[in-house]
Structure 1
Amino acid sequence: MTTPEIATRLAEYCRNGQFEAAQKELYADNAVSIEPEASPAFAKETKGLQAIIEKGHKFEGMVETMHSCDVSQPLVAGNSIAFVMNMDMTMKGQPRGQMGELCVYQVKDGKIVEEHFFM
């Protein structure tokens, strides 16, 4: 799969809240996920597809209700993909709120090898 094809599939999965399906299809087994320094719930860096999937389960367990997840059209430059994701959600024990982040991905050999989130 080409980087533009991966970008289109990834954005579609994210718009539908199908993060694990995206990871299983599009990520390399040795992928790395990098969170912003300000993320208190997660380690700065998570290595390996299975660990990334488990991190996603932890995040889902913290969410009471996902009201919407909007994803911009992806930008592609070489082997890099970027889009803005805005989530309207209620976290457990907290009031409803919005979270916006810039999501940047690196592709190598037809698979995502790195995701990096900026808030």
Structure 2
Amino acid sequence: MTKIKESSSNFANRQMLANECPEVFAAHIIGGQWSLAICCYLINGSLRYNEIKKCLPNITERMLTLQLRKLEKSGVVKRTIYPEVPPRVTYELTPIGHELSPIISELGKWGEKLKGLSP
């Protein structure tokens, strides 16, 4: 994941678009293959880190951690730590995260149409 310097014009353009256009803001939160894929798996219920990793075998541990933190910070995913030894941590969609369900469903339908158009 490439971090854009806050002093760059690219960063300023992204910020302006995100502030002006709620669709761009939302796309920034779930954009990229991993965030959306994580949300797809969490729609079915809470999962532990290793369970998510098994669902996405090609994601690196660092990228999974970064994406989960991003989704948690944005309020889409809730991280729960249980006071056990060893500690158990689960991830689940928040109520606002569950609102993605019909959007993800429609994206799936749209993706299937696009696949059908590919040569």
With the length of structure 1 as denominator, give the TM-score of the two structures.
0.24
Greater share of strand: 1
**Greater relative contact order structure (CA < 8 Å, 6+ sep):** 1
- Structure with higher Rg: it is 2
With the length of structure 2 as denominator, give the TM-score of the two structures.
0.24
Greater share of helix: 2
